[in-house]
């Protein structure tokens, strides 16, 4: 091993250092700026606390939606063979690569007051999603759910189907097989997927601001507040950015084993 590592050419190390710097420097910059900020004073500002609380509520709601609707979706994609499955899978993965702003625009055309479903919701139920907290949850769900579906589907595909067969021969009906055998077997992957989904929802900006707007206390989550605060109250912006960074890093480091296995 030692003999091999000595053969790594210097220029590769130099290029790798530049590559790493692209990630490390912004983190260091934020740390440096945060160190000269009165963190506690900024954190106790009501606007900051409001956006933190809203972010927490929205991201947890979005993750719950992703689990409730995403797990059946993942199951159908993993286990059923039907025409158009490849297309469905492509569409459910789309938000991963789609610019979030475009996603927000698309959400407006679907759920906006004159949108495909939105006009109907408005006419018959008087329900309006855009520029509401529910709309923010919807936007975050749209962007973050694919991460849960992707991990859940992968787990459902890799689980040993023969164990499910064995459970059936022991007298377990399909639902019992799923809840007592399949679910416990894929639980680690589901947890990793849910946390990944939650982290993505927490950091969501583009689709939320496009679809739900930027209303403090209603749709202004932490990323939106950061964007606004950079003009009015840079210290608060720095503290919030620092918080988001810390959370994201904690998630990635804490889940490193699950994530690399699941992805």
Minimal distance, residue 147 CB to another protein, in Å: 24
Q: How far is the CB of 161 from another protein (least distance, A)?
A: 10
Q: In the complex with another protein, which residue's Cβ is closer, 68 or 170?
A: 170
End-to-end alpha carbon distance in the chain: 28
The footprint of another protein (CB under 8 A) covers 160, 162-163, 165-173, 176, 180-181, 184-185
Write down the least CB distance from residue 210 to another protein, Å.
43
DSSP letter string, 94-110 = HHHHS-HHHHHHHHHHH
In the bound complex, what is the minimum distance in angstroms from residue 96's beta carbon to another protein?
Answer: 30
For residue 257, give both structure tokens. Answer: 């084993």
- Tokens standing for 106? 């698309």
Give whichever of 28 and 163 is closer to another protein, judged by the CB atom. 163
* Three-state SS sequence of 68-81: HHHHHHHHHHHHCC
**Nearest distance from C-beta of residue 58 to another protein, angstroms:** 33
Considering beta carbons, is residue 132 or 191 the nearer one to another protein? 191
Rg over CA atoms, the chain: 22
- Contact between 219 and 213 (Cβ < 8 Å): yes
Closer of 167 and 255 to another protein (Cβ): 167
For 96-119, b/e burial (b = at least 16 CB within 10 A) is eebebeebbbbbbeebbeebeebe
Q: Which is nearer to another protein, 172 or 230 (CB)?
A: 172
Give Cβ neighbours of residue 185 (< 8 Å, ≥ 6 apart).
159, 160, 163
In the complex, least distance from residue 160 CB atom to another protein, rounded to whole angstroms? 8
Closer of 155 and 238 to another protein (Cβ) = 155
CB 121 within 8 A of CB 111: yes
Distance CA(106)–CA(119), nearest Å, equals 14
The count of other CB atoms within 10 Å of the CB of residue 82 is 8
CB nearer to another protein: give 38 or 160: 160
Report, in Å, the least distance between residue 175 CB and another protein.
11
CA distance 221 to 234: 16
């Amino acid at each position: 091993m030692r003999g091999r590592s000595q053969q790594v050419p210097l220029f590769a190390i130099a290029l790798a250092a530049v590559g790493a710097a692209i990630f490390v420097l912004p983190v260091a910059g934020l740390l440096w700026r945060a160190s000269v900020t009165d963190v506690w004073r900024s954190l106790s500002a009501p606007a900051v606390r409001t956006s933190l609380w809203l972010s927490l509520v929205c991201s947890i709601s979005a993750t719950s939606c992703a689990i409730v609707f995403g797990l059946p979706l993942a199951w159908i994609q993993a286990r059923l063979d039907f025409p158009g499955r490849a297309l469905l899978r492509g569409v459910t993965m789309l938000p991963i690569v789609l610019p979030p702003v475009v996603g927000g625009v698309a959400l407006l055309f679907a759920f906006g007051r004159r949108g495909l479903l939105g006009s109907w919701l408005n006419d018959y139920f008087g329900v309006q999603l855009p520029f509401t907290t529910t709309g923010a949850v919807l936007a975050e769900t749209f962007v973050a759910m694919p991460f849960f579906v992707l991990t859940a589907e992968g787990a459902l595909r890799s689980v040993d189907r023969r164990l499910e067969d064995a459970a059936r021969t022991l007298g377990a009906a399909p639902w019992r097989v799923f809840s007592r055998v399949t679910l416990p077997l894929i639980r680690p992957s589901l947890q990793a997927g849910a946390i990944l989904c939650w982290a993505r929802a927490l950091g969501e900006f583009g689709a939320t601001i496009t679809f739900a707007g930027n209303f403090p206390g209603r749709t202004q989550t932490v990323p939106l507040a950061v964007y606004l605060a950079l003009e009015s109250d840079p210290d608060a912006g720095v503290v919030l950015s620092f918080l988001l960074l810390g959370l994201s890093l904690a998630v990635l480091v804490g889940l490193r084993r699950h994530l690399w296995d699941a992805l």
